[in-house]
Amino acid sequence: MPYTLEPSYDDNPRLQELVGRLRTYLTDELIPYEREHGITPESPLDRPTLEHVWKRSAELGFYGISLPPELGGQGLNFTELCVLKEELTASGAALSHSVLGDLGGPLRVGAIVKYATQEQLDRYLLPVVRGERACCFSITEQDAGSDVRRMTTTATPTPDGAAYVLDGHKVFSSAAPFADFAIVVARMAGTEEAYSAFLVDLDTPGCRVLDGEVPMSGQQMEGDLVFEDCRVPAANLLGEIGQGLRIGIGRITLNRLLHCPSLIGAARRAWDLSVAYAKQREAFGQPLLALQAIQHKLADMATELYAARSMVLATAARADRGENISVEANMCKLFTSEACFRVADQAVQIHGKAGLTRGHEVEQIFRSLRMFRIVTGTTEIHKNAIVKALV
Ligand SMILES: Cc1cc2nc3c(=O)[nH]c(=O)nc-3n(C[C@H](O)[C@H](O)[C@H](O)COP(=O)(O)OP(=O)(O)OC[C@H]3O[C@@H](n4cnc5c(N)ncnc54)[C@H](O)[C@@H]3O)c2cc1C
């Protein structure tokens, strides 16, 4: 397929059809809906708005589309999922995170289904897939980020073995403000290194959801979870005692890869906006686009996007063949997060003062992309992982 920033995928009819339908939904329905309701990336998210998107996306077959058919999806492979994710953020839709179920939805639970009992599937995970419930994933604490083993949230078994009592404070749980339950990783009380994962209804006595810090993107989707003597039934232990970090971190390799297309899409949007601006903005008697310095910036931006997309799709294809991608996923996230941030920086430069203005789309993309050099693994942690595996 020849390189283009907005591919047609005409070598893959199924993907071409899906991308076509997704683009139509985004431009003809979701973006007009956001405009009508004044929804921006920084608007507080409320459940009725999100449920509207989940329901419509499910009707169109997009919600949870990558899950296997037995879970209600269409079994999309990783390559196809990456393509759809890039299209979502490239559209500029503020609610694009809720179309496939990235935020609190099916994409959050897909990787943990294999650890769930039938009862956990029926009560927790399948309702998420159907868009009836939402979840968050809580591992980070104020003093435990990259070094998750520093966590101090504990789980204490009750003497009769019927429950575990959670105590602790989790921060920066995405989707917590509107989730129904959390997947919480806690240290088994009295142990140094045994961590377990629990499904915790957020209305359980002893569990409180607090407004989280607002990150620099301005998006209001994070919350804190506080557990004080919070009794969780033993049946809500996910997997086995001591498997908590495997469950938590096991999904991280794939998540690192699957974040990349979203970053590429956002940077592609910044490129589109920059080209449009450079065509219409005049300086010294000509459009900016006539200036070679501006053309060179656009060339650098397109080249960074080509490199990032090539890496990501090559790695996704390897994952589709069942190969181990732990090194490559770290390389993809490292390169893509840094490259897409450089693209956003160039976009701000091309826009001049407009790009510095609070609320301008390019300025919002710049702030959002800056976060991904830290979120789901910092640049330094990716480098550590790459060298540890290769040397
Ligand atoms: C918007 C947002 C959403 C989030 N969503 C979630 C979520 O849903 N669930 C969840 O559990 N968490 C979530 N997080 C937390 C996120 O995963 C952590 O912020 C991230 O893992 C980094 O941890 P930290 O911020 O504590 O930084 P730290 O770990 O304190 O790192 C600080 C600096 O030290 C560097 N550093 C640390 N250790 C090393 C090392 N060994 N070698 C080299 N450098 C090192 C880091 O790279 C970084 O530059 C979210 C965070 C944000 C901002």
217 CA closest ligand 1 atom index: 1
For the chain, which residues make up each domain, given as ranges? 13-102, 135-243, 251-390
- Please give the distance, rounded to the nearest whole angstrom, from the Cα atom of residue 384 to the centre of ligand 1: 14
As a whole number of Å, the end-to-end CA separation of the chain is 35
Look up tokens 């049946």; give the residue. Answer: 235
User: Rg (Cα) of the chain, in Å, rounded?
Assistant: 21
pTM for this entry: 0.95
pLDDT for res 164: 98
Nearest Cα residue to atom 18 of ligand 1 = 145
Contact status, residue 225 vs residue 138, Cβ threshold 8 Å = yes
Pocket of ligand 1 (CB under 6 A): 137-140, 145-147, 172-174, 215, 222, 371, 374-376, 378, 380-381, 384
pLDDT for res 72: 86
Angstrom distance (rounded) from CA 61 to CA 72: 9
- Please give the distance, rounded to the nearest whole angstrom, from the Cα atom of residue 175 to the centre of ligand 1: 17
Strands 135-138 and 181-188: parallel
Tens of pLDDT, residue by residue over 18-54, are: 999 999 999 999 999 999 999 999 999 999 999 999 9
- Please give the distance, rounded to the nearest whole angstrom, from the Cα atom of residue 200 to the centre of ligand 1: 23
- Please give the distance, rounded to the nearest whole angstrom, from the Cα atom of residue 149 to the centre of ligand 1: 13
Tens of pLDDT, residue by residue over 278-329, are: 999 999 999 999 999 999 999 999 999 999 999 999 999 999 999 999 999 9
Tens of pLDDT, residue by residue over 89-117, are: 999 999 999 999 999 999 888 788 899 99
- What CATH topology corresponds to 135-243? Butyryl-CoA Dehydrogenase, subunit A; domain 2 (2.40.110)
pLDDT for res 1: 52
CATH of domain 251-390: 1.20.140.10
Average pLDDT value for residue range 220-231:
97
Task: Kindly give the residue spans of alpha helices, DSSP state H, lying in 70-159.
Answer: 78-90, 106-109, 118-120, 126-129
- Please give the distance, rounded to the nearest whole angstrom, from the Cα atom of residue 207 to the centre of ligand 1: 24
Which tokens hold the place of 281? Answer: 């903005």
Nearest Cα residue to atom 48 of ligand 1 = 378
Checking if the pLDDT of 176 tops 60, the result is: yes
Which of 141, 146, 247, when mutated, tests ligand 1's pocket best, judged by the most ligand atoms within 8 Å of its CB? 146
- Please give the distance, rounded to the nearest whole angstrom, from the Cα atom of residue 56 to the centre of ligand 1: 34
Average pLDDT value for residue range 180-206:
96
CATH of domain 13-102: 1.10.540.10
Angstrom distance (rounded) from CA 18 to CA 203: 38
pLDDT for res 356: 98
DSSP strands (E only) in the chain:
135-138, 154-157, 163-174, 181-188, 195-201, 207-211, 222-233, 237-238, 282-283, 286-287
Nearest Cα residue to atom 26 of ligand 1 = 145
Contact status, residue 66 vs residue 73, Cβ threshold 8 Å = yes
Average pLDDT value for residue range 341-365:
98
Task: Kindly indicate the confidence band of residue 85, based on its pLDDT and cuts at 50, 70 and 90.
Answer: very high
Please say whether the dihedral angle defined by the alpha carbons of residues 196, 201, 204 and 207, taken in this order, is positive or negative.
Answer: positive
Which tokens hold the place of 265? Answer: 């899409």
175 CA closest ligand 1 atom index: 8
CA distances for 193 relative to 185, 188, 198, 254, 333, angstroms = 12, 8, 16, 24, 28
